[in-house]
Amino acid sequence: MITMKELAALTGVSQPTVSRVLNGNTSVNPEVAKKVWDCAREHNYQPNMIARGLNGSQTCLLAVMVPNIANPFFADVIKAIEGTAEKAGYSILTFNSDYSLQKEEKCLRLLQQYRVDGLIAAPSRDDEEGTRHFGELTIPWRILTRCSDRMDSVYVSHEKAGAMVAAHLLQRGIQRFLFVGKEGDDKGLGFERGLRTGGVDTERQLTVIWEEDRERLSSRIAAYMSSFSDRAGIFASNDMEALLVLNILQRVGIPVPGRAALVGFDNTFISSQIQPGITSVNQPVEEMCRFVVEDLIRQIQKKEKKPHAVRHTEFAANLVVRASTDTGSCSGGK
């Protein structure tokens, strides 16, 4: 891998001149420039970003931290971020926090060691304790897909989305509801609020189920469904959970959407490719990522390190309605 100094020796000029030719900031003698360019091409010169990063304080690296890369939603996020970052001349360092605060802190340490220019993170948790460590960061950063009072965030309101789902299910005439997700999840809270607004007695008509263990989750859901006989509206906290629920119901012989209307979250390819299609809350991933990357890069290049208030950028979610919530006959849709 040839360096500027060697290039300079070969063409008989000084290293700074080579730098000037290759970066084209200041004017140089056209003849010299041509000679240098030719020589650089001939030897396939590749600038050393490490050295460049050490000198100026620009590494042109962005870090992306997500809880689980294998989740299709986050895979989409990473793809979208990589896409727009690449166009802007930035490369990305990917970190998997595995829903562990400890790993998250390790990632934060690491990405600071690499002097990345900025960070885009989807934290595992959005409470005080789960986000405190972000406060100590000295680099520009953005929170994606979550909303926190204390941090710059780009997100879709899970709370509103939950209410939207509630409205949709109520419109279908459903009277019994199940939320499959963690207690206290914004989606769940919004769902509850939406139901209440629609006149539902959530104490009696809404159930929340969550188990880390897939098997136990399955059996609890099955037990729930067999405890009554009218139609249920089930809201799963993401498409993967929705897929699991669908799987359970189909296995137990409960028709969807006939006996249960099912709604997922994230609108990943799963929900559209499956039969029946699953109604799902769509987040405008592409737009959000483009916005967050461009916004972050803008801040980086303006070098406005500190002085800016906490900003929240909320994107609108929309419900993509599919067969899983068809109003259809209550008698076991095909």
If one asks whether residue 28 binds DNA (CB under 7 A), the answer comes out as yes
Where does residue 154 rank: exposed (0-12), middle (13-18), buried (19+ CB within 10 A)?
Answer: buried
Only one residue has tokens 């483009």, namely 290
* Pair type for strands 91-96 and 312-315: unpaired
If one asks whether residue 48 binds DNA (CB under 7 A), the answer comes out as yes
Of 25 and 227, the one with the shorter C-beta distance to DNA is 25
Count the Cβ atoms, other than its own, within 10 Å of residue 39.
Answer: 19
If one asks whether residue 316 binds DNA (CB under 7 A), the answer comes out as no
If one asks whether residue 96 binds a copy of itself (CB under 8 A), the answer comes out as yes
Q: Which residues are 71's β-sheet partners?
A: none
Of 3 and 71, the one with the shorter C-beta distance to DNA is 3
If one asks whether residue 89 binds DNA (CB under 7 A), the answer comes out as no
**Per-residue tokens: 325:** 């919530």
If one asks whether residue 112 binds a copy of itself (CB under 8 A), the answer comes out as yes
What CA–CA distance (Å, rounded) separates 128 from 21? 51
What CA–CA distance (Å, rounded) separates 158 from 145? 9
Instruction: Give the alpha-carbon dihedral of 279, 317, 214, 262, to 10 degrees.
Output: -20
Shortest approach of DNA to residue 73 CB, angstroms? 37
Our CA angle for 169, 173, 174, nearest 5°, is: 60
> How many residues sit in the footprint of DNA (CB under 7 A)?
28
Member of 25, 113, 227, 229 binding a copy of itself (CB under 8 A): 113
Interacting stretch for DNA, rule CB under 7 A, among 8-16, 116-124, 128-136, 240-248?
A: 8-16
Of 329, 319, 175, nearest to 256 (Cα)? 329
Contacts with a copy of itself in 2-61 (CB under 8 A)? 44, 46-51, 53-54, 59, 61
If one asks whether residue 52 binds DNA (CB under 7 A), the answer comes out as yes
**Per-residue tokens: 21:** 């030719």
Contacts with a copy of itself in 230-249 (CB under 8 A)? 240, 243-244, 246-247
Q: Rule CB under 8 A: which residues touch a copy of itself? A: 1, 44, 46-51, 53-54, 59, 61, 68-72, 75-76, 78-79, 82-83, 86, 91-96, 109-115, 136, 138, 240, 243-244, 246-247, 250-251, 269-270, 273-275
